[in-house]
Amino acid sequence: MPKFYVKSNTAELITSCCDPLEAAVRTLMGCNKNDVIDEYFYVDECGMRDYLTATPTTTVIRTEDVILASQPELFEEDE
C-alpha cells in the first residue's frame, strides 16, 4: 500500500492505505477539537502539501466529499 501525506489546515496525517480518499477520511476521523480543517484536503505521496505547495500529482479532495465518505449511513435514502 502506498504512503500518503494528508493536510488540511492544521490537520495532518501520514498513513498507508489504498487510495487518497481513504487517507483523507482517516485524517478527518483523527481530528481533535483543536484541529482546523479547510474546504479541501491535499493528499500526496511525496510530502505534505497545501494550496501553495500542491503539485500536479497532488490529489485535492473537497472536505464535503471526505465527510460524505466517512459517514455514508447518514446520507443513505430510506427504502
Burial level of 34, CB count in 10 A (0-12/13-18/19+)?
A: exposed
pLDDT in the model for residue 17: 95
Q: What is the pLDDT of residue 68?
A: 92
* Residue 30 lies inside a defined structural domain of this protein: yes
- 23: its cell numbers: 487517507
Domains in the chain, number = 1
Let me know if residue 79 belongs to a domain. Answer: no
Full-model pTM = 0.88
What pLDDT, on the 0 to 100 scale, is given for residue 2?
A: 94
For 12-26, the pLDDT digits (tens) are 999 999 999 999 999
Q: Is residue 24 part of a domain?
A: yes
Q: What local confidence, expressed as pLDDT, does residue 77 receive?
A: 61
Question: Taking 70 as the threshold, does the pLDDT of residue 58 lie above it?
Answer: yes
Report the DSSP pairing between strands 11-16 and 40-44: unpaired
Residue 4 pairs with which residues in a beta bridge? 15
Is 20 inside a domain boundary? yes
57 belongs to a structural domain = yes
Its domain, for residue 47, covers 3-74
